[in-house]
Chains A and B, each alone.
Chain A
Amino acid sequence: MAQINLLHAINSALDIAMAEDKSAVCFGEDVGHFGGVFRATSGLQEKYGKARCFNTPLVEQGIIGFANGLAAQGSIAIAEIQFADYIFPAFDQIVNEAAKFRYRSGNEFNVGKLTIRSPYGGGIAGGLYHSQSPEAYFAHTPGLKVVIPRNPYQAKGLLLASIRDDNPVIFFEPKRLYRASVGEVPEEDYQLPLGKAEVVQTGTDITLLAWGAQMEIIEKAAQMASNDGISCEVVDLRTILPWDIETISNSVMKTGRLLISQEAPLTAGFASEIAATIQSECFLHLESPIARVCGLDTPYPLALEKEYVSDHLKVYEAIIKSVNF
């Protein structure tokens, strides 16, 4: 198996999806000949032609509105929003249109063939507008699926599953890991299940839960804690919506403790939803309050990013606090 980075894994998934179905179309700002500002769509225009992989005008609401129409028509629409921070002009098309297309028409029409890819998250000195993690806004919208991979293998399998899933999916890619995360990825077609969390490391004392780029943070913290004799169960949520309550509940019923780490601000982040559900599902099994390690309730900063973000040291401290509660 080849060792490739997360960008190549995305590119490979797109290549397979476009080769498999002639109706599959990839588009967004700069995604054509240039291959996108991060090069995720490199070579696709050369291989599949300008009609199937192209630059759009600079208008996010247009990109997603177009994608909704294309998907409703029956084509596979794979739209890129250049940065998740710039998805908001398309909010109406996503929240009021894509998410409600099937429901409002009694399934006369749907946009199940829509996938929206977008790089999200911090750690690249991007400041306010190149660092946000907006998954919670979309998690509040029934009808959408929200998926976030943690490494190249996950990215390829989850993206192929997202493209083939018969619901509109927002696929947020951790851009800090685009080149930094390298791993073995099969060249052939494979899918990983949506709506399923994955236990990455088993443990007995506390469950650490995260998604995307935060996974390596909690893995590092778990390593630190293991030096103190604390056994952490590390879980990747993978799909934010609809999320895998069963896997998380089973883990917490075993360990008795839960810590959730997210990059986004604390208040009304997806960690809050998980905490509410798990305290309800696992109330009598909990040994300590569910811990949320998150960004502060401020916009994402630039100079003081290190202080702001949930890092392995903050997670480690929260593990100790939870275990000693």
Chain B
Amino acid sequence: MSTEIYDDGPVVHQPTFIDGTSVEIPELRILDQDGVTYPNADLPDIDQALATKIYHSLAFHRVLDERMVASQRQGRLSFYMTALGEEATSVGGAAGLKPQDMIMMQYREQGALIYRGFDLKDLMNQLFSNAGDLGKGRQMPIHYGSKALNCMTVSSPLATQIPQATGYAYGQKMQGIDAVTICYFGEGAASEGDFHAGLNMAAVQEAPVIFFCRNNGYAISTPSDEQFKGNGIASRGVGYGIKTIRIDGNDILAVLKATQIARAYAIKENKPVLIEAMSYRLGAHSTSDDPSGYRTKEEEAKWQSHDPILRMKNWLINQNWWDEAQETALFEKYREEVLAAVKVAEKIDKPHIDTMITDVYDVPSAQLQAQLDEVKAHVNKYPEAYPFTAGKF
């Protein structure tokens, strides 16, 4: 037992307050928008193969988002969320980890799944809530998850994954395995009580967890200056005694570098790290949202000029690892693949009626079985009212 922390500071005899500006937080930037690295920058561990894999993931992500928003507008899909403008945070984070590391997403991190190789078919089956969906068509579109890829299934309530990530990482530490947990969330979710609980427990219990905040400026319509008055989210990491870094979230090399270092530190020291990635939600919150009601086109245009994918492309071209012909061909290939996958997924049946009662518990109770039997009898009596299941059991 020790309370010596309180004896660390100097004792003064005049009232001395400190305020929110007392902690100055630098922002790591390695790559400028023209794709040139700063002369004194510490580069991440990256070669042409890794760079290509990252860029392919970013390109695929951009195409997927474009096509799915279009599908939603055509009425083929009920709902979608893009990560337009902040794709580097999820793709770069996943690229800085090992496959055995757990990724806990908020809901705008499909880039992590894409980087890990989540099959296009699986993405589509989730989006169309069909019988092929790993989540059995129960959650709204974009609530992906994959045990095989160590990506925890998305849950809509915000910030609930933050203390869970602490517990998950603690379990990894206890088992002595070479694995950490990364936990994504937005600057809005960081207002939830679960954020504070999760960070404090990670510090106290010494869990190897990387808290990755996508500070994209908006929580639906609420700008970050109405969300908090402190120095971003990074200042809170300092308050909880957590090693913290702020980075340019639109700089893929900065994201990669920070995540690589954070992982090594979390494994070696068994302690948490907080990364605050500064970015901007270029798209709407979701297809149910219209940002024109709360922000200006000028503001959006400014951030469009910080496009993380274009920045990486410029760097790849400067490295002589990429050219315009490859660019055009890649995007065209992805557009065709996504479109073809949409056409397949939307024709697949909805999940079987028996899935209504599975997974509530490990084994359905007798009451649930009776309720299902009742529904089946009812569907058989009124088949035209229940086209998804009638005649299919």
Chain A residues in contact with chain B, CB under 8 A?
Answer: 29-30, 32-35, 37, 54-55, 57-62, 85-86, 88-89, 125-130, 266-267, 296-299, 301-304, 306-308, 311, 313-314, 317
Nearest B residue (CB) for A90: B193
Q: Which of A57, A60, A88, A130 has its CB near the most chain B CB atoms (within 10 A)?
A: A57
* Interface presence of B321 (CB below 8 A): no
Cα of A313 to Cα of B383 in the assembled complex, Å? 11
Q: B356 in the interface, Cβ–Cβ < 8 Å?
A: yes
Beta-carbon contact of B375 and A296 below 8 Å: yes
Is the pair A298, B360 in contact by a Cβ cutoff of 8 Å?
Answer: yes
B36 within 8 A of A: no
Q: Which residues of B contact A306 (CB under 8 A)?
A: 385-386, 388
A302 close to B139 (CB less than 8 A)? yes
Other than A60-B192, A86-B157, A127-B139, give 9 A-B pairs with Cβ distance below 8 A. Answer: A127-B138, A129-B139, A130-B140, A296-B371, A297-B367, A302-B137, A303-B350, A304-B137, A313-B385
With A125-B140, A313-B385, A314-B378 in contact, do A307 and B356 touch (Cβ < 8 Å)?
yes
> Which residues of A are found within 8 Å of B79, using beta-carbon distances?
125
| Chain B positions near chain A (C-beta within 8 angstroms) | 78-79, 129-130, 137-140, 143, 155-158, 188-189, 191-194, 219-222, 226-228, 288-289, 293-294, 350-351, 353, 355-357, 360, 365, 367-368, 371-372, 375, 378-379, 381-382, 385-386, 388-389
A58, B193: Cβ atoms closer than 8 Å: no
Residues on the A chain within 8 Å of B78, using CB: 125
Residues of A within 8 A of B158 (CB): 58, 86
CA distance A303 to B128 in the complex (A): 9
> Nearest CB to that of B390 among chain A residues?
A307
- Is B386 touching A303 in the complex (CB atoms < 8 A)? no
CA distance A304 to B136 in the complex (A): 10
The reply to whether A307 and B389 form a contact with Cβ atoms under 8 Å apart is yes
* Inter-subunit contact B156/A30 (CB<8 Å): no
Could you tell me the distance in whole angstroms from the C-beta of A16 to the nearest C-beta in chain B? 24
Instruction: Give the residue name and chain of the B residue nearest to A39 (CB).
Output: B293
Q: Which of B156, B194, B220, B353 contacts A128 (CB 8 A)?
A: B156
Rounded to whole angstroms, the CA-CA distance of A89 and B163 in the bound complex is: 14
From B220, B356, B372, B378, A317 is in contact (CB under 8 Å) with B378
B227 contacts across to A, CB distance below 8 A: 57-58
Whether the pair B360, A299 counts as a contact (CB closer than 8 A) is yes
Flag if B378 contacts A313 (CB, 8 Å).
Answer: yes
Knowing A86-B157, A299-B360, A304-B388, say if A58 contacts B188 (CB, 8 Å): yes
Q: How far is the CA of A219 from the CA of B202 in the complex (A)?
A: 54
The residue in chain A whose Cβ has the minimal distance to the Cβ of B191 is: A57
Closest to B190 in A: A58
Identify the closest chain B residue to A301 (Cβ): B138
- Known A57-B191, A296-B375, A303-B130; judge A29-B356 contact (CB<8 A): no
Provided the pairs A30-B222, A296-B368 are in contact, do residues A302 and B293 lie with their beta carbons within 8 angstroms?
no
Q: With a CB–CB cut-off of 8 A, which chain B residues contact A57? A: 188, 191, 222, 226-228
Complex Cα gap A270–B125 (Å)? 36
Verify A62–B191 contact, CB threshold 8 A.
Answer: yes
Given A33-B294, A34-B221, A55-B222, also A129-B156 (CB < 8 A)? yes
Q: Which residue of B lies closest to A42 (CB)?
A: B293
Please report the C-alpha to C-alpha distance between residue A89 and residue B351 in the assembled complex, in whole angstroms: 32
A302 touches B222 (CB 8 A): no
Say which residue of A33, A88, A127, A304 sits within 8 Å of B356 (CB atoms): A304
Using CB atoms, name the residue of chain B closest to A127. Answer: B140
Bound Cα distance A297, B357 (Å): 8
Q: Hey, which chain B residues are within 8 Å of A59, CB to CB?
A: 191-193
A39 to chain B, nearest CB (A): 9
Which of chain A's residues have a CB closer than 8 A to the CB of B288?
37
- A residues in contact with B382, CB < 8 Å: 313
- With a CB–CB cut-off of 8 A, which chain A residues contact B191? 57-59, 62
The minimal Cβ–Cβ distance linking B45 to chain A, given in whole angstroms, is 35
User: CA separation between A38 and B351, bound complex, in Å?
Assistant: 30
- Complex: chain A residue closest to B140, CB-CB: A127
User: Inside 8 A of B228's CB, which chain A residues have their CB?
Assistant: 57
Query: Residue on A with the closest CB to B223?
Result: A55
Residues in A with CB closer than 8 Å to B130 are 303
A276 to chain B, nearest CB (A): 18
With a CB–CB cut-off of 8 A, which chain A residues contact B351? 303-304
List the A residue with the shortest CB-CB distance to B290: A34
Residues of chain B lying within 8 A (CB to CB) of residue A267: 367
What is the CA–CA distance of A85 and B156 in the complex, to the nearest angstrom?
9
Inter-chain CA distance A219–B385, complex, in Å, is: 18
Nearest-Cβ distance from residue B349 to partner chain A, whole angstroms: 10
Closest to A59 in B: B191
- Nearest A-chain residue to B189, judged by Cβ: A58
Q: Are B368 and A126 in contact (CB under 8 A)?
A: no
Q: Give Cα A29–Cα B219 distance, bound, in whole angstroms.
A: 9
Q: Which residue of B lies closest to A294 (CB)?
A: B371
Given contacts A29-B220, A89-B193, contact A303 B137 (CB under 8 A): yes
Distance in Å from the Cβ of B193 to the closest Cβ of chain A?
5
Does the CB pair A30–B386 fall under 8 Å? Answer: no
Q: Which residue of B lies closest to A128 (CB)?
A: B139
Q: Which of A60, A86, A296, A299 lies at the interface centre, i.e. has the most chain B CB atoms within 10 A of its CB?
A: A296
Contact A266 B371 (CB under 8 A): yes
15 contacts between A and B (CB under 8 A): A30-B220, A30-B221, A32-B222, A34-B220, A37-B220, A37-B289, A58-B191, A85-B157, A89-B157, A129-B140, A267-B367, A297-B368, A304-B350, A307-B375, A311-B385
Alpha-carbon gap, A299 to B136, bound state (A): 13
- Of the candidates B155, B356, B367, B379, the one whose C-beta lies within 8 Å of that of A301 is B356
